[in-house]
A and B are shown apart, each in its own frame.
Chain A
Amino acid sequence: MSLLSEVIKGIYKENPVFRLALGLCPVLAVSTSIFNAIGMGAATTFVLLSSNIIVSLLILLFSKILSEQGQKSINKIRIPMFIVVIASFVTIVEMVMSAYFPALSESLGIFIPLIVVNCIILGRAEGFASKNPLIPSIADAIGMGIGFTLALVAIAFARELLGSGELLGINILGANFKPVLLMILPPGAFLVIGLYLALLNWLDLRKKA
């Protein structure tokens, strides 16, 4: 499998939100505006990339310095190790963001620290980075990160446009447009995700037929 296809699979075929249905909690919460969606996507991509690199390197290091039996026993503490790595990077993101991008950190609020428990990141560390060499792990993280960001932006596009009549904070639908309040509230997120999932499944079915 080439590196490029490793990247591309995360965007469409194995899109974390629409295909794997992973990490839906932050998707529901921060997809109210495209600005938030891009910020969240970038933060998640950074954590995903960094943790995939470190996890892959850690596994490589253990395979070099430990015996076969040692590696097997290390396997028992791999999840706590991954969590420490992920939590460290999330804390870094949180500190850097509140120091240099206060507006973004304010609007994302609690959802930045909650990246720690975003199942996409642990899922990729456990399911991919711990079993693959460094370079494919990087490709996987980039693909998954882009896929996650695109999914967030796609959902935020619909919600921001209908829920506040704006895109990226710029008024699109004019002053007379009455915003659909439901779209900004959590049910709007469920609705939009459901419709996107249905659309993608319908496209797949049509392709097969």
Chain B
Amino acid sequence: MNNIIRLSIVLALVTLVAAFVLAEIYSVTKPQIELQKLAKTQEALNIVLPDAEQIIPKTNKVPVKDSEGKTLYEKDVIAYYTAYSDADTTDIIGYAFKAEGNGYSSVIETMVGIDTTGLIKNIKIVSQKETPGLGDLSENDEPFTGKKWSTQQFRDKTLEALKVDKDGGEIVSITGATITSRTITNSIRDELKGMLTKIKEPNKPDMEN
């Protein structure tokens, strides 16, 4: 009996010290990690909407419910971003949104920028954990030559053209990673479809309010 108590105390002490050290380091690194995430989103936004002077996120209130369906509180979730060409946010020049889909072995997140008519301006893969070495090819953003996958090939594509070549579309897929290419393309198409209804009349972007 004595022995069990002694062992428990020793193990508890070891874990206590470990937990204390981890808590300290967590509080130091947490703000930095948040900062990195924000910087990454900002960088992606700048790539897909290069002409924007100001980019403002549009948030939706999403209720968080408990197990009985009662609303506990409402959470702000970013639906999309609106880009303005001036600092006073009067002249809308485009939108950006995130598309998400299940790839070969991970969830692929893509930031997509469109102009007010719904034409894609540029896309940027924000995160993917596909097969190492192969999945990285999906992030290729070299000028599009017509033969090899590049994120630049999405420029000016319409909804109908957003299919990989194997499915009869215009997107050149990654050699050896058709599933990855298809996921990116399809997730963008689905998300764009929803986006287009939100900005029904291209020349009256005030509709969203």
Contacts and interface: CB of A to CB of B under 8 A. Distances in A.
Contacts of B10: 74, 77, 81
Interface stretch (A93-101, A114-122, A137-145): A93-101
B127 A106 contact: yes
B21 A77 contact: no
A162 B6 CA distance: 57
Interface string B1-41: 00100110011001100100110011001001100100010
B14 A95 contact: no
A122 to B, nearest CB: 15
B194 interface: no
Nearest to A111: B132
A92 B29 CA distance: 10
Dominant secondary structure at the B interface: helix
B33 A74 contact: no
Given A95-B26, A99-B32, A102-B36, A73 B132 contact: no
A30 B36 CA distance: 23
Interface in A46-100: 58, 70, 73-74, 76-77, 80-81, 84-85, 87-88, 91-92, 95-96, 98-100
Dominant secondary structure at the A interface: helix
Nearest to B32: A99
A96 B25 contact: yes
A164 B33 CA distance: 31
Contacts of A106: 127
A81 B133 contact: no
Interface residues of A, number: 35
Contacts of B129: 109-110
A88 B21 contact: yes
27 contacts: A33-B133, A36-B132, A73-B7, A74-B10, A77-B7, A84-B14, A84-B18, A85-B14, A85-B18, A88-B18, A88-B21, A92-B21, A95-B25, A95-B29, A95-B33, A99-B29, A99-B32, A99-B33, A106-B127, A107-B132, A164-B133, A181-B134, A181-B175, A181-B176, A184-B132, A184-B133, A185-B134
Given A84-B11, A184-B134, 14 more contacts: A33-B132, A33-B133, A73-B3, A77-B10, A80-B11, A81-B10, A92-B22, A95-B26, A96-B25, A98-B29, A100-B32, A102-B36, A106-B127, A109-B129
